Chains A and B, each alone.
Chain A
């Protein structure tokens, strides 16, 4: 459904739920999610509804993803970096109680 603009220089490679995509510098991780064509990036904690990035400006929280191992990040507020790993956020995050 989403395509990069033809003039975009897609140089930054990231992995979205195992799929490799390339984005222009400065693009958001949410844009990477959309470019990868996933059906959903998160499932809500209460009802389990599937969601994709929506507002792209930090207010709706529908883009929550695990980014480089950190859960519940708003993908639209994070810039892509070479080698970034973006994974779906399924339900509420877990808590590591033994973390320092």
Chain B
């Protein structure tokens, strides 16, 4: 088999890899997108599909800004993908709420949002506590146990499977080459000179982007990089379709464009385990019914679990290799939200060969805790 030469090889065809790969083709690069396949853990196929800003970036204002930027660019992403593929990603950004069940919860939430507002400085950060009849008007049938909700104007949701489909289609129609069932296990890495073995031949590229989700942990060291990410399980329940009733998404309940209501989502450190557990499912359902008692009448028609790609502090990892420049790593746990930033900002930086200093807080070096003396 003859080697094929590309300007960039992107490893991982989930939301992160396909957004970057499409972004690179928009910069005029010849790009190969290599994906392991259905045996992999694939967060991009099991997420909750929020484009979410509220509450993110505590202790790291750069993450709040990056998230805000991506949410603001999402309408452009929807339009560009719609134009390129005809696929409607169903973006709705009416703002979003987080439901609170106690005074302590409200207090904690308001303190968090105030820290984020201060961290945002001149950028501003709008939020509000909504209660009483205003809350009842905003969210039909809200339960009496919900005593307040924090609202921010930046949030929304999409159809994340359509997003993934659209990114792949746009990438291929822009001339990108998608190679499924191409698990990368070994590579030769020299500065700006990378060789990756795949079942359809060797891929040569002057740039390589590691966007293999949980697979990055093993891949990164081959390129002089580090990706200390671990799985974090989330279980999701989905109801039968109902007429549109929820005008805006909440952090753990949202109604899709087709009418189903998604109930999320747990956060479990369970390793590489995709099993579903009745106790967790019951907790999710009970919290949902406490939020909106009318949910008790609806049947659950689907349920699944998926693994988040988590770093120790929950913030993304973006870095170029120092020993093998041209190799980049990209990991995050909000690949839906950040899809616009990845396609429109990160990909151009990678094409240029340098990450903007705004991403400096996201190198993996932050996890290297010096041993105590």
Contact = CB atoms under 8 A, between A and B. Distances in A.
B141 A97 contact: yes
Nearest to A94: B243
A93 B242 contact: yes
Contact of A45 (B259, B293, B297, B298): B259
B258 A45 contact: yes
Contacts of A72: 240-241, 299
Interface string A75-100: 00000000000000001111111111
Interface string A50-81: 00000000000100000000001000000000
B145 to A, nearest CB: 14
Interface string B239-274: 011110100000000000011000000000000000
A97 B294 contact: yes
Contacts of B241: 45, 72, 92-93
A67 B297 CA distance: 14
Contact of A92 (B141, B242, B294): B242
B140 interface: yes
A46 interface: yes
Given A98-B141, A99-B293, A46 B258 contact: yes
B243 A97 contact: no
Nearest to B261: A95
Interface residues of B, number: 15
Contacts of A91: 243
Contacts of A95: 141, 242-243, 245, 294, 297-298
Interface string A12-46: 00000000000000000000000000000000011
B288 to A, nearest CB: 13
Contacts of B299: 72
Nearest to B136: A97
B72 to A, nearest CB: 30
B177 to A, nearest CB: 33
Nearest to B258: A46
Given A45-B241, A72-B240, A91-B243, A96 B258 contact: no
A92 B298 CA distance: 12
A91 B293 CA distance: 23
Contacts of A46: 258-259
The interface centre, meaning the residue of A91, A92, A99 with most chain B CB atoms within 10 A of its CB, is A92
Contacts of A45: 241, 258-259
A14 to B, nearest CB: 22
A72 to B, nearest CB: 5
Interface string B296-325: 011101000000000000000000000000
A93 B297 CA distance: 11
Nearest to B139: A97
Contacts of B298: 95
Contacts of B243: 91-95
Contacts of B240: 72, 93
A92 B259 CA distance: 7
Contacts of A61: 301
14 contacts: A45-B241, A72-B240, A72-B299, A93-B242, A94-B242, A94-B243, A95-B141, A95-B297, A96-B297, A97-B141, A97-B294, A98-B141, A99-B293, A99-B294
Given A72-B240, A93-B240, A95-B242, 13 more contacts: A45-B258, A92-B243, A92-B259, A93-B241, A95-B245, A95-B297, A95-B298, A96-B297, A97-B140, A97-B294, A98-B141, A99-B293, A100-B293
- Closest CB pairs A-B (n = 3): A97-B141, A92-B241, A92-B259
